[in-house]
């Protein structure tokens, strides 16, 4: 059988204190039945289905509410997608129990029995997702409930989870004897400096405990038998796993770049927040990919070693990366290719699972705080209905046996480039070159063009930043010659006449702002090259008291706005799949002549700063604008999009907010009517941008804080570069039982 595509939503329901964090509520998956149709459209054969205990049984001893799952299990049957039912996902169970409760295993088994009785047709189950990882976060590090920190609580939590898994499967198999255990675990590999190799050896053996215990391999000869015994496990408990093993029918491998760690005792080389210890030595604990000279392995290495260790069927049960869109696509594509290579080598790899299909929230804080930090997945839920991203297109091609065709897949991921090394890359480091068809960026001398080039470098997108001499956008012959020479897959046009007041009299602005984009659109359409063009909030007259959305009628007040509106019309008429971005009021960290930078410079000198108090705008942080535009471009979006940071301020209020954020005196900011500040072109009273397609940029306050962090960076240590041995040389010891 061919490699299968599976998928699932991020469905963590974890507890911090007495508050539960529900990813399905945050993403809206809990309320959209049609999300199942979206998943089925990918060509998936199975879905990791969240039959989560905490959501289903609300009261101790009370009945289970199956209404939500009844509707969805029935719909999956209609879609011919088989569920893998998950019961506890990074949680500690409902309010009346927890991972350290002696009754937890039996309580979980009771819930599993009820679930199996309700859904006897379900043939695949994951009673506890990533037991070892959850036990570490809840019992060893104290991040999640019950917030214990120590080996005793870690071991007790793990044993309760795995005993609960065995009892749950026993109860399920009384209903369906053929029910499969699909056991998931994160198998991140640890490297270390020579002095700390003992700690790496311990952690590399510990990472197998979920599977070793379930398969009955933890005997007195096992390297962690004494550790478990010292940490509170009784011999009877350990022998129970030996006498009645519950081996997985499918070993589910999860692997994240942040899970592959390096331990280094040279703590002076690292920021203080990276330094901890084990009571014997102090050391830095960092992502291996950030310090290793050699390119590290991930899914392929984890699959091979798991197959060699257990000789059981395998699946990659989570593929997700919180990053820019093309990096997410590269991660999924490389995971698929790794699975194919391991299958070709004779290992039984069944499937690859697209994870966090509708994105995830607040994993940057390990879901310990609710701050709304969102990482999109196959769909972006900031849009209504959820908007498919480039990941959905890629997954659909994989699921239907088609060859992926996205141009961004040709290049290496950030984890394979030299820029992955902390702080500053060095030419002596290991890394793959950026490759693939380029993006052309016009406007080499402008703020926006330079920002696109900078962030394309960061994101590993091949590009060429062109000045007028290399491509005059209003000269058809020049445009055609450049497109023929560079053979781009996309053009981002940041060139144009941007002096709003001068545009009232200067006829050149029509050539640059209308004729140029139209010429580009015609040539790009003829060659099937994607085009991004930029417009402005000044296409509106300011008569609306609420934010303008994409479908609102344009009625510009000045020549610049009229040119931008004409440009929008011409570009989309000539190239209907072009992406047109309306934005406003740039500020950013990489030029000295934007409003915020000039205002703060004046305030730092103790000077007053005058700004319009009768014109309201939605300022836009340039890095946010560029990242969102690139994501939309990679996603294949088209038409008009509004991109601005969320917030409405007058220019005067904007300066005051910036002053307060920077710790400067806001009283130095003086509000004046715009007309008294030398403005020639009429401006709209209120040109605040909203969006009916999706609010993709964060709040203005958040952007200002990041701007100040960028222009006033803390001192960083020099890069740490380690020339680690190739992965295959270190795996043998880790895969052999002591």
Domains and CATH numbers, the chain: 4-188+209-220+233-256+299-417 (3.20.20.80), 424-711 (3.40.50.720)
Q: Are 180 and 249 in contact (CB under 8 A)?
A: yes
Calpha distance 409→425 (Å, rounded): 23
The pLDDT score that the predictor gives to residue 584 is 94
Q: Are 302 and 255 in contact (CB under 8 A)?
A: yes
Helix (H) or strand (E) holding 165: helix 151-175
Cβ atoms < 10 Å from Cβ of 593: 7
What pLDDT, in 10s, does the model give residues 426-457?
445 567 778 889 999 999 999 999 999 999 99
| Catalytic sites, residue numbers | 560
> Strand pairing of 649-650 and 616-617?
antiparallel
The pLDDT score that the predictor gives to residue 294 is 67
* Burial category of 614 from C-beta neighbours within 10 Å (exposed 0-12, middle 13-18, buried 19 and up): middle
SS3 call for 204: helix
Per the listing, tokens 């203005």 go with 700
The pLDDT score that the predictor gives to residue 727 is 37
SS3 call for 393: helix
Cα separations in angstroms, 570 against 98, 476, 520, 563: 62, 15, 10, 10
Helix (H) or strand (E) holding 152: helix 151-175
The pLDDT score that the predictor gives to residue 713 is 59
Q: Are 179 and 122 in contact (CB under 8 A)?
A: yes
The pLDDT score that the predictor gives to residue 718 is 56
3-state SS, one letter per residue, for 277-315: ECCCCEEEEEEHHHCECCCCCCHHHHHHHHHHHHCCCEE
Profile the chain (738 residues) by mean pLDDT over runs of 10 residues. Answer: 96 95 97 98 98 95 95 98 98 96 97 98 98 97 96 98 98 98 96 94 97 97 96 96 97 92 91 91 91 74 96 97 94 96 97 97 93 95 96 97 94 86 51 85 94 94 94 95 96 93 91 95 97 97 95 95 96 97 94 91 94 94 97 97 96 94 93 89 94 95 93 59 42 31
What pLDDT, in 10s, does the model give residues 583-597?
999 999 998 889 999
Q: Are 724 and 292 in contact (CB under 8 A)?
A: yes
């Amino acid at each position: 059988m061919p490699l299968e595509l599976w998928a699932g939503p991020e469905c963590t329901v974890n507890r911090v204190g007495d508050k539960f964090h529900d990813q399905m509520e945050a993403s809206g998956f809990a309320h959209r039945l049609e999300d199942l149709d979206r998943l089925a459209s990918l060509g998936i054969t199975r879905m990791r289905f969240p039959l989560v205990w905490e959501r289903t049984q609300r009261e101790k001893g009370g009945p289970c509410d199956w209404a939500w799952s009844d509707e969805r299990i029935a719909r999956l049957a209609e879609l011919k997608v088989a569920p893998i039912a998950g019961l506890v996902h990074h949680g500690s169970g409902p309010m009346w129990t927890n991972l350290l409760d002696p009754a937890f295993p039996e309580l979980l088994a009771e819930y599993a029995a009820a679930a199996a009785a309700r859904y006897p047709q379900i043939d695949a189950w994951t009673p506890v997702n990533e037991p070892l990882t959850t036990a570490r976060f809840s019992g060893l590090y104290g991040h999640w409930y019950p917030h214990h920190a120590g080996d005793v609580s870690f071991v007790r939590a793990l044993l309760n989870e795995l005993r609960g898994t065995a009892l749950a499967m026993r109860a399920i198999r009384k209903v369906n004897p053929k029910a499969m255990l699909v056991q998931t675990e994160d198998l991140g590999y640890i490297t270390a400096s020579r002095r700390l190799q003992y700690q790496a050896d311990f952690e590399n053996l510990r990472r197998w405990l979920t599977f070793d215990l379930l398969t009955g391999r933890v005997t007195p000869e096992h390297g962690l038998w004494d550790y478990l015994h010292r940490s509170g496990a009784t011999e009877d408990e350990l022998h129970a796993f030996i006498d009645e093993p519950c081996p997985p029918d499918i070993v589910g491998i999860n692997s994240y770049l942040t899970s592959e760690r390096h331990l280094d005792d040279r703590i002076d080389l690292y920021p203080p927040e990276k330094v901890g210890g084990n009571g014997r030595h102090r050391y830095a604990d960092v992502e291996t990919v950030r310090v290793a000279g050699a390119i590290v392995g991930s899914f392929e290495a984890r699959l091979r070693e798991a197959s060699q260790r257990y000789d059981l069927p395998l699946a990659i049960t989570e593929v997700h990366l919180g990053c820019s869109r093309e990096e997410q696509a590269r991660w999924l594509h490389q995971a698929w290719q790794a699975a194919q290579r391991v299958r070709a080598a004779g290992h039984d790899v069944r499937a690859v699972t697209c994870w966090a299909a509708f994105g995830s929230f607040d994993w940057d804080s390990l879901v310990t705080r609710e701050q709304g930090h969102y990482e999109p997945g196959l769909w972006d839920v900031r849009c209504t209905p959820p908007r498919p991203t480039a990941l959905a297109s890629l997954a659909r091609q994989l699921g239907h046996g088609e060859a992926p065709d996205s141009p961004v897949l040709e290049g290496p991921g950030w984890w394979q480039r030299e820029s992955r090394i902390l702080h500053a890359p060095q030419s002596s480091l290991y890394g793959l070159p950026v490759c693939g068809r380029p993006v052309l960026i016009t406007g080499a001398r402008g703020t926006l063009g330079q920002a696109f080039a900078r962030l394309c470098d960061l994101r590993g997108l091949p590009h060429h930043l062109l000045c007028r001499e290399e491509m005059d956008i209003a000269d058809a012959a020049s445009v055609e010659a450049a497109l023929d020479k560079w053979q781009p897959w996309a053009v981002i046009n940041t060139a144009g006449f941007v002096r709003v007041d001068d545009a009232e009299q200067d006829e050149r602005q029509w050539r640059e702002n209308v004729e140029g984009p139209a010429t580009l659109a015609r040539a790009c359409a003829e060659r099937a090259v994607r085009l991004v063009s930029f417009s402005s909030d000044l296409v509106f007259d300011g008569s609306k008291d609420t934010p303008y959305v994409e479908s609102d009628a344009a009625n510009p007040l000045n020549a610049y706005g009229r040119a931008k509106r004409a440009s929008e019309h011409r570009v989309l008429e000539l190239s209907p799949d072009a992406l047109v971005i309306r934005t406003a009021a740039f500020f950013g960290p990489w030029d000295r002549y934007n409003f915020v930078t000039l205002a703060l410079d004046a305030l730092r000198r103790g000077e007053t700063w005058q700004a319009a108090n009768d014109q309201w705008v939605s300022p836009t942080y340039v890095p946010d604008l560029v990242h969102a535009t690139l994501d939309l471009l990679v996603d294949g979006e088209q038409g008009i999009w509004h991109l601005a940071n969320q917030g409405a301020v007058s220019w005067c209020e904007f300066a005051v907010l910036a002053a307060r954020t920077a710790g400067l005196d806001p009283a130095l900011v003086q509000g004046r009517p715009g007309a008294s500040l030398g403005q020639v072109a009429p401006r709209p009273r209120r040109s605040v941008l909203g969006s009916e397609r999706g609010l993709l940029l964060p709040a203005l306050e958040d952007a200002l804080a990041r701007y100040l962090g960028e222009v006033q960076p803390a001192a960083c240590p020099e890069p740490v570069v380690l020339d680690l041995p190739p992965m295959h040389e270190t795996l043998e010891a880790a895969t052999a039982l002591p």
